[in-house]
């Protein structure tokens, strides 16, 4: 019970990685504020948190909307009494070749990932600062560390999240708050299953650990960073990717094939 008596707010916790983090934190004794654009999914996760014996608060929120985020954090604290942990996990991913990127796709990625992470981090930190304790965990991506193909808005937003992590870590240290990022490699979720099956198989084969990651493996990393014992870890990026960054193996085959075809 590493998080006994604590309260965590997790964005995008209606499904996928965020849901796995919510349930893992609940098993470790945390009450959980489940925030998602999809209210039904948020409710379902909240019911599962409650079934684990913890308190839950569910809220439909678009993290890219500043006012909604302020209200959600305020209401979550009113409902659960405090806020110890924030996981900025909500995200989208829509591939577009560079010359075809639309203004809407570019702006939506930056608004949801980067602006949303800032809005949530600032609102949460204002609560955490009052008790001089907090853990903020931003879900970045290996796409923020290596140039992704046909995913420029996504990669740029994730690189921005890594910059936000470092800046906030410095600015919030005086308030007892640590800020770290996790950079997952490909994780088997609905988001990734929008890829063609062959592309997914190929992506998995590029990893030294030749398989996709599991949501529970990101939840495990989030728990590590969220635990009270991790107080000296600050402003860092924990890469959880089966070794793909170490191998420099991000989409190399796809790149070669595109070159060959041109
Ligand atoms: N799956 C992967 O391979 C992978 C790899 C690296 C990073 N990530 C990141 O992990 C996070 C979770 O991804 P996932 O694979 O679980 O995706 P997912 O699509 O399964 O889940 C994302 C959740 O975020 C919610 N969401 C989307 N936009 C939102 C918004 N504006 N406000 C509130 N909630 C919103 C969705 O409703 C959904 O429940 C994302 O930030 C993603 O970029 C995923």
Ligand 1 centroid – CA 16 distance (Å):
7
**Between 53 and 208, the higher pLDDT residue:** 53
Query: Is a pLDDT exceeding 70 seen at residue 250?
Result: no
What local confidence, expressed as pLDDT, does residue 184 receive?
A: 98
Mean pLDDT of 64-87: 98
Ligand 1 centroid – CA 260 distance (Å):
33
The tens digit of pLDDT for each residue in 84-136 reads: 999 999 999 999 999 999 999 999 999 999 999 999 999 999 999 999 999 99
Mutate which of 36, 41, 72, 91 for ligand 1 pocket (most atoms within 8 A of beta carbon): 91
**CA distance linking residue 17 with residue 15, whole number of Å:** 7
Query: Is a pLDDT exceeding 70 seen at residue 25?
Result: yes
23-53 as b/e: b if 16+ CB within 10 A: bbbbbbebbbbbbbbeeebbbbbbebbeebe
Q: Where are the beta strands (DSSP E) in 28-187?
A: 31-36, 56-60, 85-88, 134-139, 177-184
Pocket lined around ligand 1, Cβ cut-off 6 Å: 11-12, 14-18, 36-38, 41, 61-64, 89-93, 112, 139, 141, 184, 186-187, 189-192
Query: Is a pLDDT exceeding 80 seen at residue 249?
Result: no
Min mean pLDDT across 72-86, 115-129, 237-251 is at 237-251
The tens digit of pLDDT for each residue in 181-235 reads: 999 999 999 999 988 898 889 889 888 899 999 999 999 999 999 999 999 999 9
What local confidence, expressed as pLDDT, does residue 251 receive?
A: 60
Domains of the chain with CATH codes? 7-261 (3.40.50.720)
What local confidence, expressed as pLDDT, does residue 260 receive?
A: 81
Contact 13, 19 (CB under 8 A): yes
The tens digit of pLDDT for each residue in 177-194 reads: 999 999 999 999 999 998
């Amino acid at each position: 019970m590493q998080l006994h008596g604590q309260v965590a707010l997790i964005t995008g916790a209606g499904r996928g990685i965020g849901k796995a983090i919510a349930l893992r934190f609940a098993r470790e004794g945390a009450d959980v504020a489940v925030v998602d654009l999809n209210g039904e999914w948020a409710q379902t996760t909240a019911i599962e948190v409650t079934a684990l014996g913890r308190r839950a608060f569910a809220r439909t929120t678009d993290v890219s909307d500043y006012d909604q985020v302020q209200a959600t954090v305020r209401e979550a604290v009113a409902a659960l009494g405090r806020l110890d942990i924030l996981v900025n996990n909500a995200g989208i991913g829509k591939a577009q070749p560079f010359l075809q990127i639309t203004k809407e796709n570019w702006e939506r990625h930056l608004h949801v990932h980067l602006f949303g992470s800032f809005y949530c981090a600032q609102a949460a930190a204002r609560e955490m600062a009052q008790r001089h304790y907090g853990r903020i965990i931003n879900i970045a991506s290996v796409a923020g560390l290596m140039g992704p193909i046909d995913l420029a808005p996504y990669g740029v937003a994730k690189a921005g999240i890594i910059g936000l992590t470092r800046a906030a870590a410095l600015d919030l240290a005086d308030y007892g708050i640590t800020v770290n990022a996790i950079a997952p490699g490909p994780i088997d979720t609905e988001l990734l299953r929008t890829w063609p099956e062959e592309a997914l198989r190929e992506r998995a084969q590029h990893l030294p650990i030749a398989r996709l990651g599991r949501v529970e493996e990101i939840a495990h990393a989030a728990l590590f960073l969220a635990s009270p014992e991790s107080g000296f870890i600050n402003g860092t990026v924990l890469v959880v990717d089966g070794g793909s960054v170490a191998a420099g193996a991000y989409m190399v085959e796809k790149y070669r094939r595109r070159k060959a075809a041109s």
